[in-house]
Amino acid sequence: MNFCHCEKNVVKKTSWTDLDPGRRYSACEKFREVGGCTYFAWIDPPMCTRSRQIFPELLKRANKLEGEGVEMVIPPLFKCPISLDLFKDPVTLCTGQTYDRPCIQKWLESGNLTCPVTMQKLHDSSMVPNHTLRHLIDDWLRSNTRVDTKMISFDSIKKICESDESTLENKIQLGKSVVLSRQIVYLIQQKSDHEAVGRVRALSSLSLIERNCKNLAIEGAVEGLIEYLINAERSLAPMAMSTIEKLLVVESVKDVIANHAFGIKAIVKMVFRVSEHDGSECAINSLLIICSGSKNGREKAIVDGVLTQLLLLLQSQSNGKTKTKARMLLKLLRSMWNEDLNTAI
């Protein structure tokens, strides 16, 4: 037990005022009593302005839900791995792990020199505010304290996926959300290019993590990206094509594309575009994967004009690597075509 200069006990308490909600402090047990001691000191650093605005309302809603006997569900992504409570001031260490500032400060001040989750030695103890995660939490709080990640705005998803502050853990957690994947895919299919751009970026970033690809494929990401590609000249067509190539690590995706009414055609169109060559290599790589194991895919590719597209690309100013892949695809189609004819005979 610590003692004040007046020889009374020093106690630790938590402030729940609107200015400092959830902020801990130490004070003399006689503090605020008439004629009592004046010793007072904050333990936690001050909250940011945004947190001060959000938390009082959160507490009111939580109390209301508690009175109604309803449990408030907090998405795992929004919980500090140390306290397992909702982040108030998320900061990221050099290991890429995010913690609530008061919790990780207490850990470090106790003499620990490792990351609590990974147990890696910290070569740098500095903490970087994770603004993207805070924005994501703000959106969730504004929507409803009862809902889970399905209520997160897609602008925030795009921010957290694209930001340098976004960690591997962030992207894995977002990719695990079936509801998020389904809604992103649905919105990609909308006619408005402006509305679909953020969703294409989000899918592209999530697909960088291979373990997300299966979930994205199950929820229709491939079909959504195909719909995006066939709607005229979309601004992020090369990125959409690159994402389809990444999703081909999932075995079932080959059949999904080959059996889609416009699947092969959309990719063939990307092999050569007069205005730009971005996306050509991804399109050719995708066709190599599909055509090597699908007779239906090979036949559709030829009917949809892949031979013409490849010849045009070989006569263009495309880079040498892309042209080499184009020759490989031509050779594959020729050899497989002869094999298919011999089998038919």
CA distances from 293 to 171, 287, 289, 322, 340 (A): 31, 10, 7, 21, 12
Residue 232 lies in a domain: yes
Q: Are 108 and 132 within one domain?
A: yes
Number of domains the chain contains:
3
Q: Are residues 28 and 54 in the same domain?
A: no
In whole angstroms, give the CA distance from residue 163 to residue 122.
23
Predicted local distance difference test score (pLDDT) of residue 2: 61
Is 268 inside a domain boundary? no
For residue 48, what pLDDT is reported?
64
Domain boundary among the residues 262, 295, 328 is at 262
Which is nearest to 242 in space by CA: 268, 273, 267?
267
The C-alpha angle 212, 137, 194, rounded to 5 degrees, equals: 65
One domain, residues 187 and 277 = no
Q: For the domain that residue 243 is a member of, what is the CATH number? A: 1.25.10
In a domain, 1, yes or no: no
pLDDT of residue 168: 46
Nearest CA to 47 out of 39, 58, 32, 37 is that of 58
Residue 2 in domain: no
Looking at the fold, whether 22 and 81 belong to one and the same domain comes out as: no
Cβ atoms of residues 86 and 99 within 8 Å: no
The verdict on residue 267 lying in a domain is: no
Q: What is the pTM of this model?
A: 0.52
Distance CA 234, CA 274 (A): 14
The answer to whether residue 79 is domain-embedded is: yes
Residues 27 and 87 occupy one common structural domain: no
In a domain, 154, yes or no: yes
Shared domain check, 79 and 23: no
**Residue 184 shares a structural domain with residue 243:** yes
Tens of pLDDT along the chain (345 residues) come to 566 667 677 787 777 676 776 677 788 877 777 666 777 888 777 766 655 665 566 556 555 554 554 445 677 778 888 988 888 888 988 888 889 999 999 999 888 889 998 888 888 888 888 877 787 777 667 665 443 444 445 455 555 555 544 444 455 455 555 455 555 665 555 545 555 666 777 778 778 777 778 888 887 888 888 888 887 556 788 888 999 999 999 999 999 999 888 899 999 999 987 666 678 999 999 999 998 888 888 889 999 999 999 999 999 888 888 899 999 999 988 887 666 555 655
Enclosing domain of residue 37: 10-42
- Judge if 26 and 69 occupy the same domain: no
Q: Are residues 244 and 100 in the same domain?
A: yes
| pLDDT in the model for residue 165 | 45
* 318 and 231 in a common domain: no
Same domain, 331 and 190: no
Q: Of the candidates 232, 262, 292, which is a domain's last residue?
A: 262
Q: Is 3 inside a domain boundary? A: no
